[in-house]
RNA sequence: UGGGGCGUCGUCAAGCGGUAAGACACAAGACUUUGACUCUUGCAUUCGCAGGUUCGAAUCCUGCCGCCCCAGCCA
């Protein structure tokens, strides 16, 4: 086999992992590159996993190689097929393909058992009857060495017999464990005779009740990597302490290859929580609408929210990979979708908080069709037709009774352009008994048909509108960050749920959308001009009852100028 | 106070002895029938701190300081 050159763009500096891989290929340490993404099926994938997925599958792609999808399913008490299915779907949706290489650590249970027996035969593992508490107690502390187990020097034959009894279900849960025989005085606590197997009578989602002993992570992971011929085993920083053990197992056992573990910093994003444990709590305690709540940074949540796979890949590309703990600003993620959707999303008009406007000098009963660009910068995306009539809706925010000088929109006596339609001037403000503006009377300039005046007068403001008679009524859901503080799970006293943002979801009903939106399909994404990007909610939208999710807002310079929040 | 890591702009992040890339954010301006997009310009005399080596250091050496990880029969 010959080494395969990377396809990575050479205009960009290599991250430290790709640099190591290049070295390994050049030095001949490895002849090819095989990676793997090894999720435990005990929860849904989130944006942090996407970083790992893009890294592992991305490297495989660059080296014309493969990335295995392997479920690390060694703890049946927390795992289930539902998670396996969700994870599979998410990885595929992100745009990656593992070909034939779908594996389960549980597929290796027989071989793992044999490796354990081998270790026992070598005098490198023993069955320990100490209780969990006793093991902990004898493990020592960060500064004191541990004490050796009284069972440490059991004869090989006895260990073999006992381990077989464990496997055969002759011993109750917790009776004993299989431990590696390494060094109770090691400064690395993980090397102080770590547990390799425990007895666990729980039905496994794949092997059912065939096993009542299950291998631990440190024993399983390195051997699974080895069995699959993985060359570079990429994981997060907290596994750095496990690397000596990873290497010990593979060095001690007679194995044909030895994958290289490389650790990188996990992804942190502010104003959210990332751990599966915390996400699970939000789900279980009904603080969100399930794992795919559009406010959650799970892959399924982002999908339902309307994020594109390309935007998530782009995000992972932007943040890079390194070894320092870092916090990425939520804005970077938002920027990645905007970048993608700005290119691809057709533009439409939708009024979220409608204010009725009557064009008093426009003939009653008349309708005109205006041609609107689907994408002003991309004529190839075509045009559509938008109906106009005497009564329309505009955005309530686009009118101010007493506007400041810099406000370019509508106000009493002010003229504004209705996008693609006419220039209109506000003549009259109608209010209810509470003093709230309920309706506007305007006059249009018939000569400004299409939006520009023949006399060339400049109108600074252009606002969007929807014909009242033709409007599609819809529910629109506006999302904001789930938490009010940048590091919700780093407060010593308060639980992270105390920082949930009560305004993270705002449901608007009675929104008025242009008629073309009546036929929106689940995969469609639109830019509601001047508002943001939106998509139909895949769970709640029904024919005749449209529901749209706001994916992300547009950048809003006016908000900054006016000092709104 | 054991061991393993990490410290370059507000946030990410290049740099690997030759005199601080880029991105986001921010600021100013241009353009604009989306206050969007796009474009232009500005934004670290300085690389956790202190010494040292060198003609020359973010890069090498020494010593401090700060932060993260490890004492699950979780992964």
Domain A276-346+474-562 has CATH 3.40.50.2000: no
| Strand ranges for A143-212 from DSSP E | 177-180, 195-199
Is A276 marked active-site?
yes
Q: Which of these is catalytic: A51, A192, A276, A390?
A: A276
Nearest nucleotide to A15 (CA to C1') is: B14
- Is the domain spanning A350-463 CATH 2.40.240.10? The answer is yes
Q: Could you say which nucleotides of strand B lie within 7 A of any protein CB atom?
A: 1-8, 10-16, 21-27, 33-38, 67-75
Tokens of A242: 């496990």
Residue A328 CA and nucleotide B13 C1' are separated, in Å, by: 11
- Of the candidates A190, A260, A197, A195, the one whose C-alpha atom is nearest the C-alpha of residue A226 is A260
Minimum CA–C1' distance nucleotide for A177 = B73
ipTM passes above 0.90: yes
> Is A527 within 8 Å of A310 (Cβ atoms)?
no
Q: What is the pLDDT of residue A286?
A: 97
Residue A13 has pLDDT above 90, yes or no: no
Residue A40 annotated as catalytic: yes
pLDDT tens digit sequence for A399-436: 999 999 899 999 999 999 999 999 999 999 999 999 99
- Closest nucleotide to residue A319 (Cα to C1')? B12
Residue owning tokens 């890949």:
A313
The pLDDT value given to residue A2:
34
Separation of A225 CA and B62 C1' (Å) = 41
User: In 3-state terms, what secondary structure has residue A280?
Assistant: helix
What are A313-359's pLDDT values in tens digits? 999 999 999 999 999 999 999 999 999 999 999 999 999 999 999 99
The DSSP code for A554 is: P
C1' of B61 to CA of A27 (Å): 29
Q: Give the closest nucleotide to A244 (alpha carbon vs C1').
A: B4
Whether the per-residue pLDDT at A560 is higher than 90: the answer is no
Same fold, A16-264 and A276-346+474-562: no
Mean pLDDT of A269-282: 95
Based on the residue annotation, tell me whether A240 is a catalytic residue of this protein: no
The one catalytic residue in A139, A266, A278, A384 is A266
Residue A306 or residue A560, greater confidence: A306
Instruction: Calculate the CA A431 to chain-centre distance.
Output: 46
Other CB atoms within a 10 A radius of the CB of residue A98 amount to 19
What is the band of A100 on the pLDDT scale with cuts at 50, 70, 90? very high
CA-to-C1' span, A222 to B72 (A) = 19
Q: pLDDT confidence of A564, banded at 50, 70, 90?
A: low
What are the residue boundaries of the structural domains of chain A, listed by start? 16-264, 276-346+474-562, 350-463
Q: pLDDT tens-digit profile of A502-544?
A: 999 999 999 999 999 999 999 999 999 999 999 999 999 998 9
The reported pTM is 0.96
From the options 3.40.50.620, 3.30.2010.10, 3.40.50.300, 3.40.250.10, give the CATH code of A16-264.
3.40.50.620
Rounded distance in angstroms from the CA atom of residue A322 to the C1' atom of nucleotide B68: 14
Is the distance from CB of A332 to CB of A371 less than 8 angstroms?
Answer: no
């Amino acid at each position: 086999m010959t080494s395969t050159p990377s396809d990575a763009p050479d205009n960009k500096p290599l991250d430290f992992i790709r640099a190591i891989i290049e070295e390994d290929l050049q030095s001949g340490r490895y002849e090819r590159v095989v990676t793997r993404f090894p999720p435990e099926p005990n929860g849904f994938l989130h944006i942090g996993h996407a970083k790992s997925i893009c890294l592992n599958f991305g490297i495989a792609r660059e080296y014309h190689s493969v990335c295995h999808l392997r479920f690390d399913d060694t703890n049946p008490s927390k795992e289930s097929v539902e998670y396996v299915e969700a994870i599979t779907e998410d990885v595929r949706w992100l745009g990656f393909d593992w070909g034939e290489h779908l594996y389960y650590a549980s597929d290796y249970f027989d071989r793992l058992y044999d490796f354990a027996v081998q270790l026992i035969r070598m005098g490198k593992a023993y069955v320990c009857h100490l209780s969990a508490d006793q093991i902990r107690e004898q493990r020592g502390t960060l500064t004191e060495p541990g004490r050796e187990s009284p069972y440490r020097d059991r004869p090989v034959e006895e260990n073999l017999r006992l381990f077989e009894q464990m496997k055969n279900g002759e011993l109750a849960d917790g009776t004993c464990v299989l431990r590696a025989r390494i060094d109770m005085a090691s400064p690395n606590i993980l090397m102080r005779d770590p547990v390799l197997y425990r007895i666990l009578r729980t039905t496994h989602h794949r092997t059912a009740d065939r096993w009542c002993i299950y291998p631990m992570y440190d024993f399983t992971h390195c051997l699974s990597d080895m069995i699959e011929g993985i060359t570079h085993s990429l994981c997060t920083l907290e596994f750095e302490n496990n690397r000596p053990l990873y290497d010990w197992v593979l060095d001690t056992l007679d194995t044909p290859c030895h994958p290289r573990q490389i650790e990188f910093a996990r992804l942190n994003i502010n104003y959210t929580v990332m751990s599966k444990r915390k996400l699970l709590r939000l789900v279980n305690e009904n603080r969100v609408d399930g794992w795919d709540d559009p406010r959650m940074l799970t892959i399924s949540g982002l999908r339902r929210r309307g994020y594109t796979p390309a935007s998530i890949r782009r995000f992972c590309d932007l943040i890079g990979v390194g070894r320092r703990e870092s916090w990425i600003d939520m804005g970077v993620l938002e920027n990645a979708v905007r970048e993608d959707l700005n290119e691809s999303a057709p533009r439409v008009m939708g009024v979220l908080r409608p204010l009725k406007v009557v064009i008093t000098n426009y003939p009653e009963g008349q309708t005109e069709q205006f041609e609107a660009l689907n994408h002003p910068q991309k004529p190839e995306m075509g045009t559509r037709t938008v109906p106009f009539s005497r009564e329309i809706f505009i955005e309530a925010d686009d009118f101010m009774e007493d506007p400041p000088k810099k406000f370019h929109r509508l106000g009493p006596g002010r003229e504004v352009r209705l996008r693609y339609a006419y220039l209109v001037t506000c003549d009259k403000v109608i209010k209810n008994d509470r003093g709230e503006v309920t309706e506007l009377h305007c006059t249009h300039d018939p000569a400004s048909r299409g939006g520009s005046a023949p006399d060339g007068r400049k109108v600074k403001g252009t606002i969007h509108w929807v014909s009242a008679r033709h409007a599609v009524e819809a529910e629109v859901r506006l999302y904001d960050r789930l938490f009010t503080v940048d590091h919700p799970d780093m407060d010593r006293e308060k639980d992270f749920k105390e920082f949930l943002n009560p305004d993270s979801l705002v449901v608007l009903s009675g929104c008025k959308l242009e008629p073309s939106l009546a036929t929106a399909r689940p995969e469609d994404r639109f830019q509601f001009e001047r508002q943001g990007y939106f998509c139909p909610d895949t769970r709640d939208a029904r024919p005749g009852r449209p529901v749209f999710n706001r994916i992300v807002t547009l950048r809003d310079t006016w908000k900054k100028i006016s000092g709104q929040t």
